[in-house]
A and B are shown apart, each in its own frame.
Chain A
Amino acid sequence: MLLTVEKLEIAFGVFSPVDDVTFSIDRGEILGIVGESGSGKSLTATAIMGLLSRIGGQIVAGRICFDGAELVALPERQLRRYRGGRIALITQNPMTSLDAMMRVGPQIDQAARLHLGLDRCAARTRSLELMADLRIPDPALVYGLYPHQLSGGMKQRIVIAMALAGDPELLVADEPTTALDVTVQAQIIQILVELVKRRGLAMILITHDMGVVAQTCDRVAVMYCGRVIEQAQVNAIFEDARHPYTQALIRCIPRRTMTRGSMQPIPGMVPNVADQPIGCRYNPRCPRVADNCLTEIPGLRIDTGDHGVACHMADVA
């Protein structure tokens, strides 16, 4: 496995918005992480990048193991070699992800110069190639523009180019299209996935769009309230979802055969971090809730088919 995250717990003071995240991803694989907003997806991504301390968070338990190295224990100076060089981040909002006072080209160059040791000129050549790969029209011109002169979709391509510049093995893409216009979302995802496949990279694709997961991912981890509650191969998730929350998520996917009004939202609300229910965190919304659901948090049990689920009633029904 290229990256293994095990029983990760992230705390801000007394709160632990992420408290049991387990998944792994191999080279050449695309892992989708899905879950409602607030379920801890971005925090997990930030933790993998080793940047939690920047926002005042802390890893209090668990492991993040990348290519045999334990990242949680690594000092900041060594972590910096991983960041951008071996693991790269693509963030949600391209409007705020670029330095508005710097031309976009040199912003792409940075990682290549830092991690690949290229000089200014070689880095520029490489950036221009990357931009062409991302189907940015007239890369030489765009290279010299400022972020505000580009559209959202173009900016996100620059952000992707920035992430690829240091030649990383793993991409962490945190909702890379959520902030974009609906019309360009599919296009950006397509370009991104195509590039990842062509270069044989691994990618963690965080999204709340099950449709995107179905089309692009090899494996899926479903998060709820700071925990991974189910993970499996994509077809296993869609054909044999075992957690009631995952089942509800899949029912929410709009289908062509359905009429507009028949989409079922999941009843109830995501509980507040400071006010989690005792026992299974899904119990206030779960249709199958049983007695021990109210007292015991179900752990993630992984079967032989590499299908993991955290639900007391998973085998019952």
Chain B
Amino acid sequence: MFLFILKRLILLVPVFFVVSVVVFLIIHLVPGNPIDNLMRAGSSSAQRVQIAAKYGLDRSLAEQYFVWMSRLVTGDLGTSIIQGRPVGALIAQNLPYSLQLGGAALLFSALTGITAGVVAASFHGTRLDDGISGLILLGSTVPSFWLGLLLILIFAVWLGWVPISGARGWTSLILPVIAAGVGGIALVARVTRIAMIETARQDFVMLLHAKGLSPLVIQLRHVLRHALVPVVTILALRIGWILGGTVTIEYVFARPGLGSLLIRALNQRDYPLVQACLLMLAMAVILGTLIGDIVQAAMDPRQRQARS
């Protein structure tokens, strides 16, 4: 198991370089550049050249990549061209908001989704199952920004229970978490429900019933344990989403966050900032998958042995 993790971690190094090249090329090959965003109307082309030279934009792509990467490996993410502040500081400022919202939303969708899935699967084929499955379907089709606006209208504007927007205090987190989490609930609940129903059909479950165990114990202690393996996989895939997946919610609730930072930087072609954000998001997704694999292997004794 330890060797398995070590191998996967070492494998991350080449992956990191490949991803960095892709990220670098994507942003440099799309039309537009940061200089347009810095120039005031009527500036001379001499000024353009001067600015380009200042940020190294006049050099070849290969050189620029090399400069970026050599700084990156020393931990220097560079300086934002448009905002003029270190990229590291900008990210550090926005990251906590994203982690808060994304983490809480993921936790919320995991707990609610698993619960809904367990209840639906345990009452498989009854009206309760139909009801939950219907709600799940509904939840998965509602766009999160629309849900966010609806929640604001009801709970902030009409009822006045929570702040309309911003990121001050934990109450301001409630609505964004719900709006961002609902899509995840649907996904988690669906996977949990199907996995539990499939597991419940297996021979060993019949034998557990033959021992006289109560259905509740069988569902929670045995069937759910098996069903959680695929659930962990999809939850892990969403770890990357924590960092960048809540952009629309950040917009609707006027919250700071990595998503908003990235979108703004993209519009302004702020190369160093975009590169750092994208690279971080990509690595978060890859790490998430790795964590998922490790947790899955730790949960399932068959895999644990196969990977040791």
Contacts and interface: CB of A to CB of B under 8 A. Distances in A.
Contact of A100 (B206, B209, B210, B302): B302
Contacts of A110: 208, 211, 213
Contact of A111 (B202, B212, B214, B301): B212
Contact of B203 (A96, A101, A149, A162): A96
A146 B299 CA distance: 12
Interface in A115-138: 115
B211 A114 contact: yes
Contacts, number: 77
A101 B305 CA distance: 12
Q: How large is the interface on B (under 10, 10 to 19, 20 to 34, 35 or more residues)?
A: 20 to 34
A114 B212 contact: yes
Contacts of B226: 99-101
A229 interface: no
B225 interface: yes
A82 B301 contact: no
Interface string A83-97: 111001101010011
A100 B210 CA distance: 17
Interface in A224-275: none
A100 B300 CA distance: 8
A146 B302 contact: yes
B132 to A, nearest CB: 21
B204 A84 contact: no
Contact of B204 (A51, A54, A99): A99
A97 B204 contact: yes
Contacts of B299: 101
A97 B203 contact: yes
Given A101-B226, A101-B299, A114 B213 contact: yes
A101 to B, nearest CB: 5
24 contacts: A80-B214, A82-B212, A83-B209, A84-B211, A89-B210, A91-B207, A97-B204, A98-B204, A100-B226, A100-B302, A101-B222, A101-B225, A101-B226, A101-B301, A102-B225, A114-B211, A114-B213, A115-B212, A146-B301, A146-B302, A148-B305, A149-B305, A162-B207, A166-B212
Given A100-B302, A101-B226, A102-B222, 8 more contacts: A49-B209, A81-B212, A82-B212, A91-B206, A97-B207, A114-B212, A159-B207, A166-B211
List of 8 A-B pairs having minimum Cβ-Cβ separation, nearest first = A84-B212, A84-B211, A83-B212, A89-B210, A96-B203, A146-B301, A80-B212, A111-B211
